[in-house]
Chain A
Amino acid sequence: MTVFGVVGVVIQLVIVVALAPLLTGMMRQIRAAMEGRAGAGIGQPWRDLRKLMRKQPIHPRGTSVVFRVAPLVLIATCLVVAAAAPFVTTASLLDPIADLFAVVALLTLGTVALALAGIDTGTAFGGMGASRETTIVALVEPTLLVAIFALSVPVGSTNLGAIVTAGLEHPASVFSPVSLLAAVALVVVIIAETGRLPVDNPSTHLELTMVHEAMVLEYAGPDLAIIELASSMRLVVFLGLLANLFVPWGIATSGQPVLIAVGVAVFVAKVALLGGALAVGEVFMAKLRLFRVPELLAGSFVLGLLAVAASFVLA
């Protein structure tokens, strides 16, 4: 069991880290193809990372240790979640921290670290990005926790492993209105949390619309590489959670190598599918005005609340 747990953790870490830039590359490639451009290829984010890692570290004048540590905190939170959450196997070595509340709070911690780094630069851009990002985080939180609530009611636990295992054992529960409503609410939340369209445009550098990019504007070289990697890992982690919470099939429940191999393949396929869908959706969407975002989040909150109500009525 312990060996299985260790192997599971290592495989999940490797898969998430290796997959993350490829997912970003794939999404950019899909976008390029649909816009009639050639695109840079799926491997471009990895090549960018290699290029950035080779550069000399540069620290903006007047920044403190907060600025230097923030990228590490950000990637550490993603690594912990990648290791603890059930992506490839259900038996996690870190089961006591694979709680949905804990995972969500950990990912928020990464955002907070980056926001503080943005403020620490003392530029208007950094403060602006931090202000907008934390506002969105604050408004996302109720939807997120109510959706978690809806998911945990049929299982009676917020433990990720328990939710996923329950989904495997009772496949019918996956097709209930509760799951559907909670899934839609969570999709909106994930779009907001990972800074995708229509909440934030990951490829913009226009000051009026920047959120995430404004916070990280002062980073360069290896620090920027870590942030880029962590940002794509965040996307993989969120999409992986979405996939396994609602469609848990294929995840390895024991340590057999075949099952693990199947688990890896299915996980990659699920995340690629979700990422592809997200990329296609983004092509047809424009960024919302910042002050329209709360309306979107309020809508998803209502869906989450409906999910909880449905779970009570159907229970």
Chain B
Amino acid sequence: MNVALGGLLTALVTGGLSALAGLLFPTPRRATVVGIGTAATGVAAVAAGVAAMAGQPAVVALPQLLPLAGLLFTLDPLGGVFVAVTGAVAVAVGIYGIGYARHGLRGRSFQAVLPLFVLSMVLVPAAASVGTLLLCWELMALTSLLLVLAEHRRRPQVASAGRWYAVMTHLGLVVILIGLLVFAANAADGSFAALRAAGPTVSPLVAGLVFVLTGIGFGSKAGIIPLHAWLPRAHPEAPSNVSALMSAAMVNLGAYGIVRIGFDLLGGGPGWWWLLLLGLGAASAIYGILLAAISTDLKRLLGYSTTENMGLVLVGVGASGLFAASGESTLAGLAMAAALLHVITHAAFKTLLFQSAGSVLAATGRRDLDDLGGLRTGMPFTTAAFGLGALAASALPPGAAFVSEWLLLQALIHGLPASGLSAAIVMPLAVAAVALTAGLAVVTFVKAFGIGFLAKPRSPEAAAARESPASMLTGMGLAGAACVGLALLPTVILPGIGAVAAGVVGSGNPVVVDAVTIRLADVAGSLSPLLLALALTVALVAALAAARAVATRRATAIDARLWDCGGGPLSARMEYTATSFAEPLQRVFDDVLSAEQDVDVTHVEESRYLVQTIDYRRRVPDRIERRLYQPVLAALAGWGRVGRRLAPGSVHRYLGYGFYSLCAMLILLVVTR
């Protein structure tokens, strides 16, 4: 038995046992056992994924287990990447969850479902037949739904978020189901091997239909606009360890599904598929990060940032397909490698950010940035962790996302001379979209970190915040180490990622690395993240030393009052808040956001020239949601009201319905025969 197969089976067994332990162990030790079990499942999954990326095949066939089709799992390099990412996230989140469970999450159902959720996410990329994929996909949807609903007794909003999530994820499943059934109807059977053989031969119309349908389903899981509506609801309302799992591991599988169907099974396709995908990805990236920049709820902000990052991944996937369609296989490989690397970096920093947000939530009970601030004194480790994650997320060197976005930009700019006129229009716009996204990400994360963690506390809870327990810090430390490793030494994993990407699009490895430098194959371009970080450190130390040497007075620093314009000590109420920080941006993008503002001025009774209070309210509704979902929901509700008139409660009437429809059916039969 090889490592890939062994890892997969070990993950299955440990995951199952952890779920059992969640059911059987007594409350005091339950969370610890489940947490360790989840982490062990993750370790096994990482081993399986990495071995699969290295080329070890793992095939598990259980033909008797499921009627009609049976279960079939095959771990290939592409699936291996996603299994490894899911496993790594599960390791950090599993350990983190031990401490986080103290906040009312020790219940039997929650602890038993958590390992099952991880397990289902490990199995989705390994599934190798339509039936298996759909089964694992549904298992993943159901388990995650149960986890999202964990805190529904405490907050009424959880139920509404859960409803949105349940409806959207199941509509997604239905669309994927239809798409895959159409595909399988044109193939020998439902196994991926048969689909792969049939992929290039199906008619373009059917192939396009399959791609669009599965794309809608998988895209909604990835949080792509306009199907993102569940994401900023479910992510904030879920417990933070679940948010981390969903945001760092589950949404990736949407991107996985698109790559699997589009490249692997359908064998690439015409340019318009990928143009559509690229356009949607770019729009999601900008819209997601814009709403993240405006939102004041820390976890909602992170949720919107997930939409942004998945958008960037799909920009890479779309560009890759576009290049492949025009025969530029090396560039296609480069764009795919960038997309896969971004999946990995996003998983690392989003795990870290959601864990830190959870740590803040556990310590203060607040998610609203306007109530936070000053956490650096009470929670230094969490502050450092969030700072590290924010650096990684804002695509600045030396951060993790900088490397993947650099690769993406390189692929896009080298695509201009390579392909035709459509690329000449698309590529500059895509570069601009990625650039605007990067710029807005800077605003978003400066706001989240600066307003949330620095300055003065804006609420008594924030002032009294204390650091989280060691298990949570360990989980954050693991995710943080992954961020640092990806930022400084992406050269370790890039050859493997490049090989997987090359395998997906059928090219040579698009990246060549030596110890510290990434070089692009066939096109010019090189970057050394480690050297950059080193140069920055040397410059920092040199500047410090020079400043020390030049400063003639070596006197120790003295404390002084802040400049308060002579008005007495500044209070926390005078600080900039997250709302005010984002106000210029909100004004600049007013045409897109169309925020609703409300100013109420109450005058003093004696004179209307003197102001007593000013009440300012601002709401930034999600415009896509308002334009797209509310009409549909209103129509559905109206339809329901009409339908209700047919059901007044009289049994005679219902029997009558049955009688008349039977007659109609019989008449129809007589007429048609």
Contacts and interface: CB of A to CB of B under 8 A. Distances in A.
Contacts of B406: 99, 101-102
A203 interface: no
A231 to B, nearest CB: 14
Interface in B123-151: none
Contacts of A199: none
B6 interface: no
Contacts of A94: 531, 535
B442 A112 contact: yes
A138 B557 contact: no
Contact of B376 (A64, A132, A225, A290): A64
Interface string B325-357: 000000000000000000000000000000000
A294 to B, nearest CB: 5
A135 B585 contact: yes
A101 B557 contact: no
B531 A131 contact: no
Nearest to B589: A294
Interface in A118-154: 119-128, 130-132, 134-135, 137-142, 144-146, 149, 152-153
B560 A59 contact: yes
Contacts of B416: 149, 153, 308, 311-312
A226 B562 CA distance: 20
A159 B528 CA distance: 12
Contacts, number: 260
Contacts of B435: 141-142, 144-146
A144 to B, nearest CB: 7
A159 B434 CA distance: 19
B428 A305 contact: yes
A144 B527 CA distance: 19
Contacts of B561: 60-61
Given A132-B584, A134-B443, A138-B440, A301 B432 contact: yes
Interface string A56-73: 111111101010000011
B552 A53 contact: yes
B474 interface: no
B616 interface: no
Contact of A130 (B427, B450, B551): B450
Contacts of B410: 158
A80 B574 contact: no
Interface string B154-167: 00000000000000
Contacts of B443: 134-135, 137-138
Chain B interface, >50% SS class: helix
B442 A134 contact: yes
A122 B456 contact: yes
Contacts of A80: 532, 535-536, 539
A159 B526 contact: yes
Contacts of B551: 53-54, 57, 222
B639 interface: no
A138 B442 contact: yes
B539 A153 contact: no
Contacts of A225: 547
Given A157-B524, A222-B551, A131 B580 contact: yes
A60 B559 contact: yes
B563 A76 contact: no
A266 interface: no
A115 interface: yes
Contacts of A99: 406, 525-527
Interface string A91-117: 000111101011001101100100110
Nearest to B441: A138
B185 interface: no
B187 to A, nearest CB: 41
Contacts of B449: 116
B189 to A, nearest CB: 47
Nearest to B586: A135
A97 B527 contact: yes
Contacts of B417: 153, 156, 312, 315
Interface string B435-452: 110111011001101110
B442 A130 contact: no
A interface, size bucket: 35 or more
Contacts of A66: 376, 454
Contacts of A140: 439
B70 to A, nearest CB: 49
Given A59-B558, A101-B409, A145-B432, A127 B580 contact: yes
Given A130-B446, A153-B417, A158-B525, A60 B560 contact: yes
Interface string B229-253: 0000000000000000000000000
Nearest to A79: B539
B665 interface: no
A115 B450 contact: yes
Interface string B450-470: 110011100000000000000
Contacts of B455: 119-122, 127
A213 interface: no
A226 B546 CA distance: 10
A55 B551 CA distance: 8
A185 to B, nearest CB: 12
B390 to A, nearest CB: 9
A53 B434 contact: no
Chain A interface, >50% SS class: helix
B413 A56 contact: no
A96 B576 contact: no
A58 B558 contact: yes
Nearest to A109: B396
Contacts of B666: none
Contacts of B396: 105-106, 108-109, 112
B451 A119 contact: yes
B576 A102 contact: no
A2 to B, nearest CB: 15
A88 interface: no
A77 B438 CA distance: 18
Nearest to B436: A142
Contacts of B576: 119, 124, 126-128, 130-131
Interface string B374-399: 10110000000000000000111100
Residue among B396, B542, B575 with max Cβ neighbours from chain A (10 Å):
B396
Interface string A272-305: 0000000000000000001100100000010001
B636 to A, nearest CB: 38
A30 interface: no
B558 to A, nearest CB: 6
A197 interface: no
B428 A146 contact: yes
Contact of A105 (B402, B440, B550): B402
B439 A142 contact: yes
Contacts of B584: 131-132, 135, 290-291
Given A56-B557, A94-B535, A135-B443, 6 more contacts: A102-B397, A119-B581, A120-B455, A141-B442, A146-B428, A220-B560
The 9 A-B residue pairs with the shortest CB-CB distance in the complex, in nearest-first order: A127-B576, A141-B439, A138-B439, A119-B450, A157-B524, A96-B528, A145-B435, A76-B539, A122-B455
21 contacts: A57-B558, A59-B559, A60-B559, A83-B539, A96-B531, A97-B527, A99-B406, A102-B397, A106-B397, A108-B396, A119-B581, A122-B454, A127-B455, A131-B584, A142-B433, A149-B428, A156-B524, A220-B560, A226-B543, A291-B588, A305-B429
Interface of A: 53-62, 64, 66, 72-73, 75-77, 79-80, 83-84, 94-97, 99, 101-102, 105-106, 108-109, 112, 115-116, 119-128, 130-132, 134-135, 137-142, 144-146, 149, 152-153, 155-159, 162, 217-218, 220, 222, 225-226, 290-291, 294, 301, 305, 308-309, 311-312, 315
Interface of B: 293, 373-374, 376-377, 394-397, 402, 406, 409-410, 413-414, 416-417, 424, 427-429, 431-436, 438-440, 442-443, 446-447, 449-451, 454-456, 516-517, 523-528, 531-532, 535-536, 539-540, 542-544, 547, 550-553, 555-564, 570, 572, 574-576, 580-585, 587-588
